[in-house]
Amino acid sequence: MEGGNESRGALIVLEGLDRSGKTSQSSRLLSSLEGLGYSAELWRFPDRTTSVGQMISAYLSNESQLDDRTIHLLFSANRWEKRSLMESKLKSGTTLIVDRYSYSGVAFSSAKGLDVEWCKAPEIGLLAPDLVLYLDIPPEKAAERGGYGGERYERLEFQRKVAQCYHALRDPSWKDVNACQPIEDIERQLREIALDHVTACKIGRPLSNLWL
């Protein structure tokens, strides 16, 4: 990718099963980074505010039915429509903490039986994260937390398949954090790992593209 990467922000992705604590930990990480004086924003996928995002939201809440491949491509399009903004934010020095990204896309669709390589294909060329934080929780423990809101994928049997698919996707650079620990312990571990990566990006690690 072209130059201009001096002092860029880091692309930090949080992944994990439903009820693994991604959303609250993403907010805590944002506050920590901002508190330390970093420019940072919290993003999430799906981004339900766009017109593609609204189609996804209707599907997730069972208000509409879509073929498995169609919804997969909509989730991907929802990332593509944000790619250039993502790149400009990172290049201007803002760190992005992203609650779910392409790995959710591939894990959830392949858990339905779609071919993994087919699922990855539309993600090729999206920005590659600098860091993937995986909040690791057994599906049974996540289900015990309750609060499955009744959206389409919030069933134990399906979450078990998603866990296997995440496992098959992971690479050695992912950082697993045990999501069954006390909230403050998880927060501290995520902050420490994230800070190392924010610092590395500030000193000029180039941006790259999926799929690595």
Helix (H, G, I), strand (E, B) or coil at 166: helix
102 close to 17: Cβ distance less than 8 angstroms: no
Residue in 9, 16, 21, 46 binding ligand 2DT, rule: CB under 6 A: 46
Minimum CB distance to ligand 2DT smaller for 105 or for 139: 105
Beta strands in the chain (DSSP E): 11-16, 40-44, 95-99, 131-136, 175-178
Number of residues that bind ligand 2DT (CB under 6 A): 9
How many degrees, rounded to 5, is the angle at CA 148 between CA 165 and CA 26?
Answer: 70
Chain-centre distance of CA 72, in angstroms? 15
In the set 9, 17, 33, 45, which binds ligand 2DT (CB under 6 A)?
Answer: 45
* Binding letters toward ligand 2DT, positions 72-111, x by CB under 6 A: ---x------------------------x---xx--x---
Minimum distance of ligand 2DT from residue 81's CB (angstroms): 13
Cβ pair 74, 66 in contact under 8 A: yes
Q: Is residue 38 a contact residue for ligand 2DT (CB under 6 A)? A: no
158: closest CA among 109, 87, 92, 208? Answer: 109
Q: Toward ligand 2DT, which CB reaches closer, 38 or 86?
A: 86
Tell me which residues in 50-69 interact with ligand 2DT (CB under 6 A).
60
Give residue for tokens 């999926």. 210
- Residue 153 within binding range of ligand 2DT, rule CB under 6 A: yes
- Residues near ligand 2DT (CB under 6 A) are 45-46, 60, 75, 100, 104-105, 108, 153
